[in-house]
């Protein structure tokens, strides 16, 4: 008989799971990464492929992850080990869990560096609020941040420490408390910024850029970025959602329903972020295309400077963004921490979190240095998909665009082929039969083939 609780603790309600999973999903991926990828990949064409990836590949795999986790109730590695024993699935599937821990450490390494940027900006606005000098030209301010390894390392360390503290405290005392108020606040602030976007008179152009696909822009590279982003934004492919699923109660909770709430929240935050940022970009005479990772840092401060109470809005925006990043970064650390504390004993949760975070912080120093002292260390331009990438880009590419889709594909195959129909059906008992059949074949065939096609196309 399956266990009804996890040794690590449980979400106290269905709503808490949705908030925590949405807290994991909504983060830098939505507000920093989605707008700049859209900007760099031709606008509407990218958005369209991204939405298709979410619906066809992302949602089914999200369901699969949560379901596997709830069935196993342990950290991903031990859940998959247990299933190998109980259901006779191959022990090779345990590799999904290991892949996940490595991907988590890699993603957290640069995620924390960018999280540090948001803390730095929050701090700038705090100082400004108390009479400090204004930011000045945002692109100069951004470049001067990136060129300062000590400043970057400091904020990277602060962000990593914040992440470690929450994970060390555990599910109820740490994770739940962090997400309860912050998610709704971020949503409201984004709506306000979209409202500001309307006052600039450029909402129409922004919407055209976002939603009118220029099909000539669709290429293998666009598909790979959109697919990678779909996995990244839903926190898929590295067993984060499997871990969160392990803490999800069973009674009266339909996995597809909670999962759809999570995916809808995540997608609408990304689209709202686009609608908030592009009118500002256009209104201040910046190019919507080719904004790169600095897009929000170069554009939004212009608007904050121009609007009444702008300093306060600047602080609110970057503060909430930092918090959104925080509720995501904890979910990058949790799967590995849960595993280590199963291995070394639950009382070592704190040490486990600290150990993994320390490794990830050290790896993050590579990203820090690639922005300044080592900025010339690059793959020669034009060789292949890797051309022109610096170390931070490479880590991001390896983890987001390769490891996550690969992990997601394996998870789909595991749920579709290794688990029996009976087990799958028991976890999805509320689903109408036809939908269940569609889902199962999507997991067995459609999703893995699509991921494989995109990966193969990009690598060849
Ligand atoms: N989804 C988060 C974001 O969009 C990032 C994230 C958190 C993540 N946990 C993850 C990405 C697990 C991949 C896998 O910012």
Work out the number of other CB atoms within 10 angstroms of the CB of residue 376. 7
Mean pLDDT value across residues 404-425: 97
Higher pLDDT, residue 186 or 293: 293
Whole-number mean pLDDT of the chain? 93
CB 46 within 8 A of CB 38: yes
Query: Residue 457: what are its φ and ψ, rounded to 5°?
Result: -60, -40
pLDDT by residue (tens digit) across 115-146? 999 999 999 999 999 998 888 999 999 999 99
The number of the ligand 1 atom at minimal distance from the alpha carbon of 231 is 13
70: helix, coil or strand? helix
Report which protein residue has its CA nearest ligand 1's atom 7: 328
Judge residue 3's burial from the number of C-beta atoms within 10 Å of its C-beta, 0-12 exposed, 13-18 middle, 19 or more buried: middle
pLDDT by residue (tens digit) across 147-184? 999 999 999 999 999 999 999 987 677 667 766 777 78
Question: Does 14-459 carry CATH code 1.20.1740?
Answer: yes
The number of the ligand 1 atom at minimal distance from the alpha carbon of 28 is 15
The number of the ligand 1 atom at minimal distance from the alpha carbon of 24 is 7
158 Cβ contact list (under 8 Å, min separation 6): 116, 119
Higher pLDDT, residue 153 or 458: 153
Cβ of 28 closer than 6 Å to ligand 1, yes or no, is: yes
The number of the ligand 1 atom at minimal distance from the alpha carbon of 240 is 12
Helices 349-370 & 95-129 angle (0-180, nearest 10): 70
pLDDT at 174: 65
DSSP 3-state percent helix, strand, coil across the chain (nearest 5): 80, 0, 20
Report which protein residue has its CA nearest ligand 1's atom 6: 235
Distance CA 423, CA 426 (A): 5
pLDDT at 178: 65
CB 207 within 8 A of CB 355: no
Closest CA to 170 of 336, 361, 350, 329: 350
What distance in angstroms lies between residue 405's CA and the mean position of ligand 1's atoms? 13
Distance CA 346, CA 333 (A): 16
pLDDT by residue (tens digit) across 39-84? 999 899 999 999 999 999 999 999 999 999 999 999 999 999 999 9
pLDDT at 16: 87
Distance CA 6, CA 319 (A): 33
Cα torsion at 76, 184, 110, 154 (round to 10°)? -120
Mean pLDDT value across residues 195-217: 93
Q: What percent of the chain has pLDDT over 70?
A: 98
Q: Which structure tokens are listed for 159?
A: 């962000």
Mean pLDDT value across residues 253-258: 95
Tokens 């507000």 found at: 31
DSSP category for residue 3: -
Mean pLDDT value across residues 280-298: 92
Closest CA to 304 of 287, 324, 325, 283: 283
Per-domain residue ranges for the chain?
Answer: 14-459
Judge residue 289's burial from the number of C-beta atoms within 10 Å of its C-beta, 0-12 exposed, 13-18 middle, 19 or more buried: middle
Mean pLDDT value across residues 229-242: 97
pLDDT by residue (tens digit) across 341-397? 999 999 999 999 999 999 999 999 999 999 999 999 998 887 777 888 999 999 999
Q: Residues in the chain, how many?
A: 460
Distance CA 380, CA 224 (A): 20
299 Cβ contact list (under 8 Å, min separation 6): 138, 277, 280, 281, 284, 286, 291
Which of 31, 50, 107, 229 to probe ligand 1 with, by most ligand atoms within 8 A of CB? 107
Lowest mean pLDDT among 105-114, 375-384, 413-422: 375-384
Mean pLDDT value across residues 328-345: 96
Which of 23, 24, 54 to probe ligand 1 with, by most ligand atoms within 8 A of CB? 24
Read off the pTM.
Answer: 0.95
pLDDT by residue (tens digit) across 361-375? 999 999 999 999 999
Alpha helices in 294-348 (DSSP H): 295-306, 310-344
pLDDT at 156: 98
Report which protein residue has its CA nearest ligand 1's atom 12: 235
The answer to whether residue 1 scores a pLDDT higher than 70 is: no
Cβ of 332 closer than 6 Å to ligand 1, yes or no, is: yes
């Amino acid at each position: 008989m399956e266990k009804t609780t996890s040794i690590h603790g449980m979400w106290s309600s269905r709503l808490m799971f949705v908030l925590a999973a949405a807290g994991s999903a909504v983060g830098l991926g939505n507000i920093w990464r989605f707008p700049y990828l859209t900007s760099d990949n031709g606008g509407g064409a990218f958005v369209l492929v991204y939405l298709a990836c979410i619906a066809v590949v992302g949602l089914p795999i999200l369901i699969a992850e949560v379901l596997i986790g709830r069935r196993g109730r342990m950290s991903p590695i031990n859940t998959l080990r247990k299933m190998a024993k109980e259901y006779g699935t191959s022990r090779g599937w345990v590799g999904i869990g290991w892949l996940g821990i490595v991907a988590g450490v890699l993603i957290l390494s640069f995620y924390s560096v960018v999280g540090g940027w948001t803390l730095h900006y929050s701090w700038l606005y705090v100082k400004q609020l108390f009479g400090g000098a204004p930011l000045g030209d945002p692109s100069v301010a951004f470049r001067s941040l990136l060129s300062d390894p000590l400043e970057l390392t400091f904020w990277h360390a602060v962000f990593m420490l914040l992440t470690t503290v929450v994970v060390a405290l555990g599910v109820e005392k740490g994770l739940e408390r962090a997400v309860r108020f912050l998610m709704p606040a971020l949503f409201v602030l984004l709506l306000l910024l979209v409202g500001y976007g309307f006052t600039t008179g450029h909402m129409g152009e922004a919407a055209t850029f976002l939603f009118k696909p220029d099909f000539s822009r669709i290429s293998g590279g666009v598909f790979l970025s959109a697919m990678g982003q779909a996995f990244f934004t839903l926190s898929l492919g590295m067993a984060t959602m499997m871990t969160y699923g392990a803490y999800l109660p069973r009674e009266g909770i339909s996995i597809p329903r909670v999962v759809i709430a999570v995916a809808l929240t995540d997608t609408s935050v990304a689209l709202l972020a686009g609608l908030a940022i592009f009118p500002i970009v256009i209104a201040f005479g910046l190019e919507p295309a080719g904004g790169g990772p600095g897009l929000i840092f170069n554009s939004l401060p212009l608007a904050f400077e121009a609007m009444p109470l702008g300093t306060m809005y600047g602080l609110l925006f970057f503060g909430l963004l930092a918090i959104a990043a925080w509720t995501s970064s904890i979910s990058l650390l949790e799967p590995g921490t849960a595993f280590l504390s199963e291995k070394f004993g639950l009382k070592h949760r704190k040490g486990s979190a600290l150990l993994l975070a320390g490794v990830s912080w050290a790896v993050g120093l590579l990203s820090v240095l690639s922005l300044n002292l080592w900025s010339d260390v690059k793959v020669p331009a034009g060789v292949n998909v890797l051309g022109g990438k610096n170390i931070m880009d490479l880590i991001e590419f390896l983890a987001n665009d390769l490891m996550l889709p690969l992990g997601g594909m394996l998870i789909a195959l595991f749920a579709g082929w290794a688990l029996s129909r009976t087990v799958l059906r028991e976890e999805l008992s509320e689903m109408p039969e036809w939908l269940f059949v569609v889902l199962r074949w999507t997991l067995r065939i459609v999703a893995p083939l699509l991921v494989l096609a995109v990966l193969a196309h990009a690598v060849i």
